[in-house]
């Protein structure tokens, strides 16, 4: 993002989202994660840019994620909108997610900025280092709203590097790790449990398998991705993908 700005380009949230998900897909081809990018119409309805499905057998834990990019002024300027309810989109994400059985999340796209401390030790045991693992960070909508600010300086304390979503997968499996992330970092008593995969995810999974079988790349358009080999390094590899551009 910083490099783009230096040549006079401002990358949109959509472009950053597609780049990040595409890079994850390329780095981790397999079967345990499905990403479904939302259409504009779908985003307007449920407030999410994409769905993340962590799959175990025929069941999965679904996340709906809304992405916001950092701007040069040190704010996530599109986090709130003018009008009587600046958090209309956030409220929609939360209520539509709850109604459909998803965990809602925010994803922030970051770059080094004087208003934010992108440092500190890695909170997990993996070998990732600051500042690069802050490139994409996750936060919980209720905590985002409570901060009541679009400023990086205010929001930084409620963010987590996104690899932490699945950090403990070697110990707990993918869904167990994400559930632990929701309950501990989201300060919740329980997370929405895994459920039957909806049709579009089963279809996406099938498309992936057949495309893999045929040797074609299914990665443009829908991003389907996952892991077959359950190593810590691979799961935590989510954190390496976008970095600071
Ligand atoms: Zn980790």
pLDDT tier at 14 (50, 70, 90 boundaries)?
Answer: confident
Q: Quote the ligand 1 centre to 238 CA distance (angstroms).
A: 9
Whether pLDDT at 64 is above 90? yes
Q: Quote the ligand 1 centre to 39 CA distance (angstroms).
A: 31
- Most trustworthy range by pLDDT among 36-40, 130-134, 203-207: 130-134
Average pLDDT taken over every residue of the chain: 79
Q: Quote the ligand 1 centre to 92 CA distance (angstroms).
A: 31
Q: Quote the ligand 1 centre to 243 CA distance (angstroms).
A: 15
Q: Which residues surround ligand 1, an ion (CB under 5 A)?
A: 124, 126, 167, 236
Given this model, what pLDDT does residue 25 score? 63
Q: Quote the ligand 1 centre to 152 CA distance (angstroms).
A: 23
Q: Map residue 40 onto helix, strand or coil.
A: helix
pLDDT over 70 for what percent of the chain?
79
pLDDT over 90 for what percent of the chain?
39
DSSP 8-state code for residue 220: S
Q: Using the Cα atoms of residue 195, residue 196, residue 200 and residue 204 in order, give the sign of their dihedral.
A: positive
What is the secondary structure of 70-101 as a DSSP string?
Answer: --TTSB-TTSS-SSS-TTHHHHHHHHHHHHHT
Whether pLDDT at 129 is above 70? yes
Q: Quote the ligand 1 centre to 96 CA distance (angstroms).
A: 30
Residue 57: count other Cβ atoms within 10 Å of its Cβ: 7
Given this model, what pLDDT does residue 30 score? 57
Q: Are 166 and 178 in contact (CB under 8 A)?
A: yes
Average pLDDT over residues 160-184: 90
Q: How far is CA 63 from CA 48, 52, 105, 129, in A?
A: 9, 5, 7, 26
Quickly list H helices, the chain.
2-6, 13-27, 40-46, 88-100, 141-147, 152-155, 169-172, 174-185, 199-214, 232-236
Backbone angles phi, psi at 32, to 5 degrees: -100, -10
Q: Quote the ligand 1 centre to 126 CA distance (angstroms).
A: 4
Distance of CA 207 to the CA centre of its chain: 22
For residue 178, count CB atoms less than 10 angstroms from its CB and return exposed for 0-12, middle for 13-18, buried for 19 or more: buried
Q: Rounded distance, CA 181 to CA 156, Å?
A: 17
Q: Nearest CA to 29 among 164, 198, 218?
A: 218
| Strand 59-69 versus strand 103-109 pairing type | parallel
DSSP 8-state code for residue 39: P
Q: What is the pLDDT of residues 181-221, one digit of tens each?
A: 999 999 988 888 899 988 877 776 666 554 443 333 333 22
Q: Quote the ligand 1 centre to 177 CA distance (angstroms).
A: 10
Q: Nearest CA to 150 among 95, 105, 185, 108?
A: 108
Given this model, what pLDDT does residue 105 score? 97
| Strand 50-56 versus strand 136-139 pairing type | unpaired
pLDDT tier at 241 (50, 70, 90 boundaries)?
Answer: very low
Widest distance between CA atoms in the chain: 52
Q: Nearest CA to 68 among 14, 1, 9?
A: 14
Whether pLDDT at 91 is above 50? yes
Q: Quote the ligand 1 centre to 234 CA distance (angstroms).
A: 10
Whether pLDDT at 244 is above 70? no
Given this model, what pLDDT does residue 108 score? 96
Q: Quote the ligand 1 centre to 201 CA distance (angstroms).
A: 26
């Amino acid at each position: 993002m910083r490099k783009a700005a230096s040549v006079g380009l401002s990358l949109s949230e959509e472009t950053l989202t597609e780049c990040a998900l595409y890079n994850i897909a390329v780095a981790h081809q397999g079967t345990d994660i499905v990403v479904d990018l939302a259409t504009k119409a779908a985003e307007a309805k449920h407030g999410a840019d994409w769905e993340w499905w962590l799959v175990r057998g025929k069941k999965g834990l679904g996340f709906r994620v809304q992405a916001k990019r950092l701007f040069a002024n040190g704010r996530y300027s599109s986090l709130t909108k003018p009008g009587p309810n600046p958090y209309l989109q956030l409220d929609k994400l939360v209520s539509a997610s709850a109604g459909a059985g998803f965990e809602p999340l925010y994803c922030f796209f970051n770059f080094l900025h004087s208003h934010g401390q992108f440092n500190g030790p890695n909170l997990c045991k993996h070998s990732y280092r600051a500042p690069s693992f802050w490139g994409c960070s996750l936060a919980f909508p209720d905590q985002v709203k409570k901060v009541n600010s679009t400023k990086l300086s205010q929001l930084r304390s409620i963010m987590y590097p996104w690899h932490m979503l699945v950090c403990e997968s070697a110990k707990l499996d993918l869904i167990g790790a994400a559930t632990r992330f929701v309950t501990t970092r989201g300060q919740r008593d329980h997370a929405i449990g895994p459920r039957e995969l909806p049709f579009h995810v089963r279809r996406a999974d099938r498309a992936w398998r057949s495309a893999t079988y045929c040797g074609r790349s299914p990665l443009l358009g829908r991003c389907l991705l996952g892991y077959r080999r359950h190593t810590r390094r691979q799961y935590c590899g989510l954190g390496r993908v976008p970095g600071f551009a």
